[in-house]
Structure 1
Amino acid sequence: MTSTQQGLTPRQARRLRMGIAAVAMVAMAVVLVIQLGDGSSLRSIGLYGAAFILSGAVIEMSRRGRTRLGMAVLVAGFVLLLGADWWLRSR
């Protein structure tokens, strides 16, 4: 008997990563609505807008088969956005 390694097919991995980016986009939408209700600053809203664009770009990359690159961009982008948000708030 040979054992086969169970894993995701490329299509399943692509759909999973697209789903993760979509969930991130929905989460950013919810936070943005809350921020707008609190009368948040324009720069915070701009950062959330950048997060929307980033999530959309990752979804498009995943659709075109660039899933690993898309996840790297998503993680790096959100780290940069969170860092920028922290830096702007501390000033």
Structure 2
Amino acid sequence: MAAPGNDEFERKQNFSLQWATSTPRERRAMLREQREQTAPQSTRRSYVLVGVFLMTAAIAGLVKAVAAKEPVSTIVLFAVAILFCGAMAELSRRGRTRIGFSVLVVGMIGASLAETFQR
């Protein structure tokens, strides 16, 4: 919660004052402007969540593979998948969403091809 004297509080207060005194057309413009400001932040958060979710799934698969005494190559592929998911989450957290997503896609394609060729 923003406290009085805080820049965020003043920004919200100014926004509500402008909202109360504006026409519907101006209100739509204000909402559009606010959505454009928060779009990168929400993209970063969603990419971090996707990376963490996929990493959790890969960890569960790794535990399952170890319990089933799968070959070492399968366990290594799960570890590589965990690495790429973690890289995506970290890069996205730092604002490098395109690079993070590219790393994940290329890594998963590589892991899939490696699994196909190992059989």
TM-score by length of 2: 0.67
- Whether 1:60 aligns to 2:90 is yes
Counterparts of 2:102 and 2:87, CA distance in 1: 12
Q: Which runs of 5+ in 2 are unaligned?
A: 1-24
Map Cα deviations across residues 41-90 of structure 1 (whole Å, 9 max, x no partner): 1111111111111111111111111011111111121111011111112x
Q: Over aligned residue pairs, what C-alpha RMSD do you find?
A: 1.9
Q: Percent identity?
A: 30
Query: What is the aligned residue count?
Result: 89
Q: Which runs of 5+ in 1 are unaligned?
A: none
TM-score by length of 1: 0.86
Q: From the two aligned structures, give the one with the greater helix fraction.
A: 2
Aligned match of 1:70: 100
Aligned-pair CA distance for 1:14 = 0.2
- Give the 5 Å matches for 1:1-91: 1=25, 4=32, 9-89=39-119
Counterparts of 2:92 and 2:49, CA distance in 1: 10
Counterparts of 1:28 and 1:50, CA distance in 2: 9
